[in-house]
Structure 1
């Protein structure tokens, strides 16, 4: 790992840091204040990307200087949403429709702020026409999509759009990457952010349903 750490978020009892390795990957470290073993002489490492990938994803977004979030409330994104909303440096917009997020993200970029749009796969179909704006204007766009209609899906209404999500985004000109593990999510979000904001591209990261866990209600 490179020397040094980047401070991402401070809570009353925890300092979350992001160590960047030689491949540019973010490794979260949590230090519990006053709870370290005095004999150990080292900070305890608690990040586990199999379960704590939302926090590491938050770290990756902030490392990419994302300071705006537009989202439709979603259980799969809930932890990431809470982390971004708790960050005083991040402005949040709750959407009534996913397509609003595309327009708001474009306006955010024109105002000098990097944005991320969070949605579920069922909302991708609402965005197709609006996506012509960033595609044709070459406005950087980063979308994180939690997938439905895949592994162990109980709701038949989620299946058609789940099947069509990747193809629909690709057809309109959005670059699509999939992530099926916590480690994949973090690494993919990091490179997707670079591609979007440094190459003026529209990039979507699809987060597999198996990682999100079984849903039943």
Structure 2
């Protein structure tokens, strides 16, 4: 008997939170943890979803979006946090909103040792750069947390990151 995985509902809840927050531009580095959310954003005619080569491009793109009157969100994996450090000074010093949704690696059940350093330090690094952190550990809270983070970012003109726990993404068993 083959057991089918339970469908993940929280990517749809993130998408709805972005829509409710009037997000029109989504910058992303391709990531399996965001694949469903990216597909929803790409399919929506009211959103522009842009694939990036590196995460710091997203910070610049969303600064331009804000200056042009659009709200945006940056989707990335925790390993990409290190790529953004220098660019995070832009929203901080220019008082621009930045909403980041970060799938965490290097946590529960991680199989890849290369993911451990940023996975264990992403939250601290973001906080040190002046980013407000919201963490989602349970599927039922994801939509509300993303919506609250968007309200904080766009009403206070600050950088906010939602960290999606690796438990939400599921355990990858590469031992077989």
Name the SS for the 2:86 alignment partner: coil
Matching of residues 89-168 of structure 1 within 5 Å? 89-168=46-125
Matching residue of 2:3: none
Runs of 4+ in structure 1 over 6 Å off: none
Residue aligning to 1:197: 154
SS state of the match for residue 50, structure 2? strand
Per-residue CA distance 1:8-29 (angstroms, 9 max, x = gap): xxxxxxxxxxxxxxxxxxxxxx
Which digits, 9 at most, give the CA deviation of each residue in 1:82-139, with x for residues without a partner? 0010001101111000000001010000000000000000000000000000011110
Structural RMSD (CA) = 1.0
Q: Distance in 2 between matches of 1:184 and 1:203?
A: 17
Structure 1 or 2: more helix by fraction: 2
Q: Distance in 1 between the 2:101 and 2:173 partners?
A: 22
Q: What TM-score results when the alignment is normalised by the length of structure 2?
A: 0.93
Give TM-score scaled by structure 1 length: 0.76
Q: Which has the higher contact order (CA 8 A, sep 6+)?
A: 2
The total of aligned residue pairs comes to 168
Q: Structure 1 unaligned segments of length 5 or more: list them.
A: 1-49
Contact 2:31 2:76 in 1 (8 A): yes
